[in-house]
């Protein structure tokens, strides 16, 4: 049987990991990326066991371990006095329970590991896809630079503003969620005086929360301030942010939070976008993956992890149905949609839960967290972290 050719539109974390899975399974894969360089914006990235399991299967375990930090735990805290609401020990317990580590990364470090693993001749930079059409026996795609390609399968891994999604389902802007993120990185020695622990800390306050954890093998501290805001008026979705606005927004928070903001040189401000779950991802020989089909709020730490799962399952489906691409893509959609939708829904619900105003509801939340029985408990999160997306269920 001839080797199937797969065109991946977009070289973000989702597109790259899908391409690596497909390549290892013997498909002829090419990535088309609009940027002139393979770089990744942003700061920190949490990689839970369901994602690290797949990256390790790709043979990237050693590189990842060198760049990662294993956080000592997840520390949920009250915004003004730092009181512990819940503490789950991640580093050892996660690995023992789910058989794969829980890491945090600098996004750039992780993206580079994926880029280095991909043969460079299979990455086509400065290729902004402008059109794609299923011709029955193959797919054709066109690019702003005037080139055109043919492939047996086309994957739209082109992010939250996906052109491919628009071509398949009609143009529509993703929704501004009413939440913005201020993100930044600080050399760790600059915050040494604050006495921070090595856990991933989440400070919950009214209408906002603040997250920080060490990245880049402990050399840098990543922070994200997530706060509610009525509208997004900047033209770009990713703007330099004002440190004084950030400091003002967290003025009443604990001294550690204020100290982190005070130590930062710069911050970038991101609009947080999402969409309602789509009715379909797969159309004949074309399908979608990652933020192109299931953007989600970052309040479950699963956006990139779910994109990584997509690529693994998609590869397994194409391996099973090499002679029937539409059947493979239908199977992929049926396996992935319920799980990604569940993550989208929980992420959205966490916005309310993290940002409760001080009062009876917040007190009830804190009391429940103290019992260790929330859906952050090891038992409750098992469905998410123990999953191996590279293995098709027997019924499939
Ligand atoms: C504040 C914040 C914190 C987050 N934290 C986490 C976390 O801790 N853990 C986690 O798992 N997730 C996290 N996420 C989510 C995660 O970043 C995304 O879900 C993930 O990056 C999606 O990957 P992707 O490859 O689908 O899309 P993207 O990373 O957006 O990549 C899309 C790629 O496609 C390219 N492209 C776009 N259009 C075209 C075109 N027409 N032609 C060719 N190329 C094109 C783009 O240049 C880009 O390289 C966070 C998100 C935010 C905003």
Q: What is the pLDDT of residues 149-170, one digit of tens each?
A: 999 999 999 999 999 999 999 9
Residue 142 confidence (pLDDT): 98
Same domain, 184 and 109: yes
Is there a domain that residue 394 lies in?
A: no
* pTM as predicted: 0.94
User: Cβ(158) to ligand 1 under 6 A?
Assistant: yes
Whether the predicted pLDDT of 376 surpasses 70:
no
Is there a domain that residue 28 lies in?
A: yes
Same domain, 303 and 341: yes
Same domain, 138 and 218: no
User: Per residue in 213-253, pLDDT tens?
Assistant: 999 889 999 999 999 988 776 656 678 899 999 999 999 99
Span 100-114, mean pLDDT?
Answer: 93
Could you give the C-alpha distances from 30 to 60, 118, 188, in angstroms and in order?
20, 10, 38
- Annotated catalytic residues are 213
Same domain, 285 and 330: yes
Is there a domain that residue 395 lies in?
A: no
State the DSSP H helix or E strand holding residue 316, giving kind and residue range, or none if neither.
helix 303-320
Same domain, 219 and 264: yes
CA of 177 to the centre of ligand 1 (A): 17
Query: How sure is the predictor about 377, in pLDDT bands with cuts at 50, 70 and 90?
Result: low
Query: What does the mean pLDDT of the chain come to?
Result: 92
User: Cβ(350) to ligand 1 under 6 A?
Assistant: no
Range of the domain at 185: 42-118+175-274+356-389
User: Cβ(307) to ligand 1 under 6 A?
Assistant: yes
- Overall domain count for the chain: 2
Span 53-79, mean pLDDT?
Answer: 94
Same domain, 236 and 385: yes
CA of 132 to the centre of ligand 1 (A): 21
Q: What is the CATH number of the domain that holds 51?
A: 3.30.9.30
Is there a domain that residue 22 lies in?
A: yes
Whether the predicted pLDDT of 326 surpasses 70:
yes
CB 190 within 8 A of CB 266: no
Residue 235 confidence (pLDDT): 52
User: Per residue in 335-374, pLDDT tens?
Assistant: 999 999 999 999 888 888 889 999 999 999 888 888 876 6
Span 120-140, mean pLDDT?
Answer: 97
Query: How sure is the predictor about 47, in pLDDT bands with cuts at 50, 70 and 90?
Result: very high
Residue 378 confidence (pLDDT): 65
Ligand 1 atom 48 nearest Cα: 12
Same domain, 219 and 230: yes
Is there a domain that residue 260 lies in?
A: yes
- From 8, 9, 12, 127, give the residue whose CB has the most ligand 1 atoms within 8 Å, as the site to mutate: 12
Q: How many CB atoms lie within 10 A of CB 231?
A: 9
More confident position, 29 or 380: 29
Same domain, 107 and 50: yes
CA of 13 to the centre of ligand 1 (A): 7
């Amino acid at each position: 049987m001839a080797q199937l050719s797969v065109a991946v539109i977009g070289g973000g974390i989702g597109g790259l990991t899908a391409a690596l899975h497909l390549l290892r399974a013997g498909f002829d894969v090419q990535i088309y990326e609009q940027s002139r360089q393979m770089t990744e914006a942003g700061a920190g990235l949490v990689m839970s066991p369901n994602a690290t399991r797949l990256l390790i299967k790709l043979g990237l375990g050693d590189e990842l371990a060198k760049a990662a930090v294993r956080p000592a735990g997840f520390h949920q805290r009250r915004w003004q006095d730092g009181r512990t609401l819940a503490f789950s020990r991640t580093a050892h317990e996660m690995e023992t329970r789910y058989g794969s580590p829980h890491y945090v990364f600098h996004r750039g470090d992780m993206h580079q590991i994926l880029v280095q693993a991909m043969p460079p001749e299979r990455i086509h930079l400065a290729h902004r896809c402008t059109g794609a059409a299923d011709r029955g026996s193959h797919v054709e795609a066109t690019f702003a630079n005037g080139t055109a390609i043919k492939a047996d399968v086309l994957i739209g891994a082109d992010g939250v503003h996906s052109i491919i999604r628009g071509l398949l389902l009609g143009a529509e802007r993703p929704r501004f969620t009413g939440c913005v993120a201020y993100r930044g990185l600080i050399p760790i020695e600059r915050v040494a005086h604050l006495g921070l622990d090595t856990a991933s800390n989440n400070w919950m306050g009214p209408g906002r929360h603040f997250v920080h954890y060490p990245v880049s093998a402990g050399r840098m501290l990543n922070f994200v301030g997530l706060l509610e805001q009525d509208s997004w008026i900047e033209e770009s979705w990713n703007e330099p942010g004002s440190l004084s606005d950030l400091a003002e927004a967290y003025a009443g928070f604990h001294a550690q939070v204020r100290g982190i903001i005070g130590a930062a040189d710069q911050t970038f401000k991101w609009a947080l976008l999402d969409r309602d779950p789509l009715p379909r991802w797969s159309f004949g020989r074309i399908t979608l993956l990652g933020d192109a089909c299931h953007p989600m709020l970052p309040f479950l730490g699963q956006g990139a992890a779910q994109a990584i799962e997509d690529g693994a399952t998609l590869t397994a489906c194409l391996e099973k149905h090499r002679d029937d691409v539409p059947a493979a893509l239908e199977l992929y959609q049926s396996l992935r949609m319920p799980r990604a939708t569940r993550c989208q829904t929980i992420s959205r619900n966490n916005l309310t839960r993290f940002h409760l105003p001080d009062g009876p509801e917040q007190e009830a939340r804190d009391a429940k967290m103290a019992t260790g029985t929330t859906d952050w408990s090891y038992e409750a999160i098992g469905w998410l972290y123990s999953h191996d997306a590279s293995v098709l269920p027997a019924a499939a």
